[in-house]
């Protein structure tokens, strides 16, 4: 009988230890999940910040391109008006960056010198 009582006590102690171990494991898992959740939030914030920076860079580049295009359109209109006015390529067309405007026009617009 005493033996049986001891066995029951040892079994109860085992169960208690197992329960304690299980509770500790759950607590650790919860802590790990909380850490992961915090990290995920941080990475989401970092990701959003990076995307915002990339967007700003894109918008800046797009604005530069638009300004360049706008400038080029104005230059093209000016060049066309010079040519339409009957300018002689050899004498009347100004130079741009060391090249004559007609050469630049041919490169930019794909027009031959025979215009």
pLDDT value at residue 10: 80
How far apart are the C-alpha atoms of 74 and 82, rounded to whole Å?
12
The whole-model pTM stands at: 0.31
70: confidence class by pLDDT, cuts 50, 70, 90? low
User: Which has more pLDDT, 20 or 82?
Assistant: 20
pLDDT value at residue 22: 92
User: Is a pLDDT exceeding 80 seen at residue 16?
Assistant: yes
User: Which has more pLDDT, 82 or 28?
Assistant: 28
Kindly give, in sequence order, each residue whose CB lies less than 8 Å from that of residue 82, ignoring residues fewer than 6 positions away: 92, 93, 94, 101
Alpha helices in the chain (DSSP H): 2-84, 101-109
């Amino acid at each position: 009988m005493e033996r049986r009582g001891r066995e029951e006590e040892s079994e109860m102690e085992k169960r208690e230890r197992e329960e304690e171990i299980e509770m500790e494991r759950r607590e650790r898992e919860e802590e790990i999940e909380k850490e992961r959740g915090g990290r995920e939030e941080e990475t989401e914030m970092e990701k959003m910040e990076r995307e915002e920076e990339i967007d700003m860079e894109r918008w800046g580049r797009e604005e530069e391109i638009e300004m360049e295009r706008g400038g080029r359109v104005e230059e093209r209109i000016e060049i066309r008006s010079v040519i339409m006015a009957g300018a002689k390529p050899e004498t009347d067309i100004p130079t741009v960056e060391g090249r004559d405007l007609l050469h630049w026009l041919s490169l930019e617009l794909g027009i031959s010198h025979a215009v």
